[in-house]
Structure 1
Amino acid sequence: MHRRVFKESRESEIGSLLLSEGVIRQRVKALAADIHTAYSPVPFTIVGLLNGSLLFTADLLRELPPETEVVFWRVKSYRGTLSSGNPEGLEAEGGEFAGRRVLVVDDILDSGCTLSAVEKRLRALGASSVEYCVLLAKQRARPPGFPVPRWVGFEIPDRFVVGYGLDYNGRYRGLSSIRMLEEEKILPGGAESAG
């Protein structure tokens, strides 16, 4: 009991609660059921985008049939709180995707640049179809022509969030909830305040 109280008080210091662990868990189960219905009985491959989608992808996978294939690609597009708009690491990623239906799983849809670059790479590797599932989609305008996820867990305000795989400079990924990082924790240039 003491550990739980400590955990809750530490999380509240990071930022205000946006989505609780229970709400996230329920939504992930519903998304998995919809995905299973859409793809069954034809096999498909999940491409989880690291590091942010690790927890989300793992939880989705636990709700899908055991034969569901999953691979992870390491793609980085954030520095501090800013999206670079130019995902790094895709050129090193590969796999056997010829003729495969692919579901890209990501933690958050921000600018849309990451999903667009991932789709281009998967098409070059021969994927027959590419669809998207994101846990979070920020409520903001995106340029025309960018991918639109078929599955979205939650629409959220255009704020910087952490927890459940989402990080700020490598921190807060392990939070069980999703929180809006308090502005005073962020210094100009994306560095984190010590206090």
Structure 2
Amino acid sequence: MTPIRLADVLPEAELIHSRETLENAIERIADEIRADYDGGLPPLYITVMHGGMPFASQLAFALGERGLDLEFDYLHATRYRGQTTGARLAWLHRPATPMRGRRVLLADDILDEGHTLLAIKQWCEDQGAGDVRVAVLAVKVHDRCVEGIEAEYVGVEVPDRYVFGYGMDFQEQGRNLPAIYALKA
């Protein structure tokens, strides 16, 4: 079976949030985080790869402009592995930085049902993190989110459709699009 190319679906995809909207949302989130992280050691800023990378990078720059220093690490845990539906969580890389007693800020692209983010947050807590907060570019609007996970910092809401761009992929394509799109309904 031949995979569907992004170039075949993008012309009919719906633009959900423009680059300007996303950049404004990231600036707002940075203000919120800066207000919450005043003083003390720099938070441990963990990017959830691959999807979280574009958002996390832009947010880190915005936080730096506001005078908030960060200590960087990353993790790679996925349930999708190039598919459009999730399976069992696979850990591809765990952070190397000790978390005991630290304030941890997780940065990811989207909070959909929350299985992955919940497992990541619980793992950070199991490592002794003193406080774990979640920043996401987007939250999908539906009633299927698992209990026990929410994002303290949210950029935008997206509809309950397959979305891609700005870190989110369509069959491992389109993560570097500077906007969020949804497949044709």
1 or 2 for the larger relative contact order (CA 8 Å, sep ≥6)?
2
1:114 matched to 2:116? The reply is yes
TM-score by structure 1 length? 0.81
Whole-Å separation in 2 of the counterparts to 1:117 and 1:69: 22
Aligned counterpart, 1:187? none
Aligned counterpart, 2:171? 169
Q: How many pairs are equivalent?
A: 174
Q: Which amino acid counterpart does residue 86 of structure 2 have in structure 1?
A: S
Aligned counterpart, 1:45? 44
Q: String of CA shifts for 1:54-85, please: whole Å, max 9, x gaps.
A: 0000000001136211211111122421122x
| Change beyond 3 A, Cα 1:164–1:131 | same
Whole-Å separation in 1 of the counterparts to 2:162 and 2:152: 23
Whole-Å separation in 1 of the counterparts to 2:29 and 2:145: 26
State the structure with more CA Rg: 1
Equivalent position SS for 2:86:
strand
Q: Is the 8 A contact 2:76 2:93 kept in 1?
A: no
User: 1:135: how far off?
Assistant: 0.9
| Structure 1: unaligned runs, 5 residues or longer | 1-8, 184-195
The runs of at least 4 consecutive aligned structure 1 residues that moved more than 6 Å come to: none
Equivalent position SS for 1:75:
strand
Whole-Å separation in 1 of the counterparts to 2:79 and 2:122: 16
| Structure 2: unaligned runs, 5 residues or longer | 1-6
User: 1:119: how far off?
Assistant: 1.3
Q: Give me the CA root mean square deviation.
A: 2.1
Aligned counterpart, 1:155? 157
**Which structure carries more helix by proportion?**
1
Whole-Å separation in 2 of the counterparts to 1:48 and 1:20: 22
Identity of aligned residues (%): 29
